[in-house]
Amino acid sequence: MTSALPPRDAEDARIAREVSLALLSTGCIEVHTDEPFRLPSGWASPVYIECRRLISFPEIRRTLVGYALNLLRKRHGLDGVSAVAGAEASGIALAAWIADALELPMQYVRKQRKGLGPGRQVVGVVRPGESVVLVDDLMSGGRSIVNCCLAIAEAELLVKDVFVIFDYGTFPTRNVLDTMGVTVHSLATWQDILVAARESASFQTRELAELETFLADPIQWSHVHGGKSSAKTETKGLL
């Protein structure tokens, strides 16, 4: 089972609804009722999200940056932060907008190390000992977020908070991040999409039913559909 998401208040719930409706209206959500999507971390899912489409919608992306800043401030995710680190490649644009709004330096974290020596995955001016907030567009199985956090630590930077627009909220990811002392803050999850899809009639009946079945037991759904089936939560299970 996944560990609990950070608690929400009424404002968080309102924003989750708005973000979910925006993701649906901009074509970011896909549903397959035949062949499942296979995530890089090995999990299988009937739904897929492409948050990178949001860069083409200026008004929505400005709103999302505002929501991100409000959420991070409310949860003290920016306390003591000296820079914003974007995850390559989908988190770079979002991190740049957030860094600009905060008037903070920015780095980005490569998916793989380039060159020799420690810390070579983090690009930009690095001042060891400083704290950064990591930004990406989404978290699904958690492998990318874990890798980024490990690379940041190798560069002798500190990271305790991560912001993503969307968190699958389905797989045993947060347990691993908890052991690393990292908290992920998101604006919406698949549960929010389910509610918004019902409200907006965005899915066909069969698609809605498939999403409901998946969310009832994501690990079992993945197992039955040929994906990862282990609920192990050790870091090596995500890398």
Query: Which of helix, strand or coil describes residue 198?
Result: helix
Give residue 233's pLDDT band: very low, low, confident or very high (50, 70, 90): very low
Distance CA 106, CA 71 (A): 19
pLDDT reading at 2 higher than 50: no
The full set of domain ranges for the chain reads 10-231
pLDDT, residue 165, reads: 98
How much is the pLDDT for 1? Answer: 40
What average pLDDT does the segment 21-48 reach? 94
Report d(CA 186, CA 6) in Å as an integer. 9
Closest by CA to 19, choosing from 186, 238, 228, 231, is 186
Binding residues for orotate: 140
The annotated binding site is made up of 110-111, 114, 136-144
Please tell me the predicted confidence (pLDDT) of residue 130. Answer: 97
pTM value is 0.91
Whether the Cβ atoms of residue 27 and residue 58 lie closer than 8 Å to each other: no
Predicted confidence band at 120 (pLDDT cuts at 50, 70, 90)? confident
C-alpha span between 166 and 223 (Å, rounded): 23
State the average pLDDT over residues 162-169: 96
186 phi and psi, to 5 degrees?
-135, 160
pLDDT for res 28 = 97
Extract the tokens encoding 115. 């060159």
**What pLDDT, on the 0 to 100 scale, is given for residue 117?**
60
pLDDT at 231: 57
Assigned CATH topology for domain 10-231: Rossmann fold (3.40.50)
Coil, strand or helix: which one is 216?
A: helix
State the chain's mean pLDDT as an integer: 91
Known binding positions for 5-phospho-alpha-D-ribose 1-diphosphate? 110-111, 114, 136-144
d(CA 88, CA 148): 9
